[in-house]
Amino acid sequence: MNYILNNQNEKSKCTGVRDKKDMIFAFQTSFFAMCRLSSFPWSALEIELRNDESPEILLEILQQTCRHSLCRKTPPSVKYRRLFLSELIKRHEATTSEPLDELYEAFGEILGVEEEPTCYKSYLLPSGDAVSLSESTALISEGTTGLVTWEAALCLAEWALDNLQVFSGRTVLELGSGVGLTGVAICRSCSPRRYVFSDCHPSVLQRLHSNMQLNGLVVADDPNVTVTVRELDWETVTEDRLRELGADTVIAADVVYDPAIISCLVGLLSKLLRCAVQGTHPDIYISSTIRNPETYSCFKSELKNAGIRYQILKGPITPVFPYNRSTSIELIKLFL
């Protein structure tokens, strides 16, 4: 199903607002990905509302967000929708004295609805498809960081869409997949031969399974890409198991965040690079948000101690997903 409003100029996507259609598209992508409300193009909307007395643009924004079929199927959290609608009402009423019934009706519909611990976020792909994922409303829940999508995953997915050849026809193993954004985007857009999602946390593995189903990526249902979800703990995985997975490409997003797990992660990366299958070892790409420079340099020193070299890659060129582009994210390729 094509969820994207219309064909957008690549340059304008998620970056700036060129015209009305562009603005509505920015509202739509940000709403479905549950971006911070402050990142929406409110000033552009207010200018538009001041220049044009008709409520047409607000009705279109409502149609492409809360009234969209995607919102019925996989809605953002109740609290988020409430906050979004109140902000829309506030911005509208700052420019006119006439309240808009349709906005109040939409707000009224979710006033009494109870909040749930999970919600859906949807990320629109250039093809017009949406990747919809069930995610937690809290960044850390059930003792794991794996139940939400992190920015390094969005960055890695964008980079993948720019570099299809790294994935096309290959067996891809993803470490610490979390809710699965990067993998679903790659399966949808980069034609891998096989894709192995992996994680160690039981709730994350369960969520991965249900998110695969939600996105129609069930092994038996898709003859083109064989998708599997595996329990793979960096601490205990054996070389035999890695050989059996036979990955040509290994990726991971936001796995360098806790100093306590760096040495087992590096141990696993070293095993992957050293247990060559038929003389070749996989290409490994790691995307990391650098929150704490000390933790990240500890990761790099451990790589060096393990005899692993790295090359810093140029990040994604084509913006696709809405996220804070001033966040410090580094993408590296590893080799011996």
Ligand X SMILES: C[S@@+](CC[C@H](N)C(=O)[O-])C[C@H]1O[C@@H](n2cnc3c(N)ncnc32)[C@H](O)[C@@H]1O
Which stretches of the chain bind ligand X, using CB under 6 A? 144-146, 149-150, 152-153, 176-178, 199-201, 204, 232-235, 253-255, 257, 261, 264
Rounded Cα distance between 46 and 144, Å, is 40
Compare residues 20 and 230 and give the one whose CB is closer to ligand X. 230
Give least dist CB 64 to ligand X, A.
Answer: 26
| Helix, strand, coil share of the chain (percent; to 5) | 45, 15, 40
Closest approach of Cβ 149 to ligand X, in Å? 5
Q: Closer CB to ligand X, residue 152 or residue 196?
A: 152
If the CB atoms of residues 76 and 146 are measured against ligand X, the closer one turns out to be 146
CA distances from 236 to 240, 241, 263, 265 (A): 12, 10, 12, 11
Residue 215 CB, nearest approach to ligand X (Å): 15
How many helices (H) and strands (E) the chain has is answered by: 12, 9
Q: Which is nearer to ligand X, 13 or 121 (CB)?
A: 121
Contacts of 87 by beta carbon, 8 Å cutoff, 6+ apart: 37, 40, 42
Least Å from the CB of residue 326 to ligand X: 18
Listed in sequence order, the residues at least 6 apart from 234 whose beta carbon sits closer than 8 Å to its beta carbon are: 175, 176, 200, 261, 264, 265, 267, 268
Distances (CA, A) of 39 to 26, 33, 132, 163: 10, 12, 21, 28
Beta carbon of residue 33, minimum distance to ligand X (angstroms, whole number):
13
Q: Which residue lies nearer to ligand X by CB, 101 or 244?
A: 244
Residue nearest to ligand X (CB): 146
CB of 206 to ligand X, least distance (A): 12
Q: What are phi and psi of 128, to 5 degrees?
A: 100, -10
d(Cα 186, Cα 201) in Å, to the nearest integer?
A: 22
DSSP character string of 219-236: GGG-SSSEEEEEE--TTT
CB of 207 to ligand X, least distance (A): 9
Amino acid at 45: L
Q: Classify each residue of 32-53 as buried b or exposed e, where b means 16 or more C-beta atoms within 10 Å of its C-beta.
A: bbbbeeeebbbebbeebbeeee
User: Which CB, 114 or 244, lies closer to ligand X?
Assistant: 244
Closest CB to ligand X among residues 106, 200: 200
Q: How far is the CB of 173 from ligand X (least distance, A)?
A: 12
> Residue 95 or residue 141: which is nearer to ligand X going by CB?
141
* Tokens found for residue 19: 């015209």
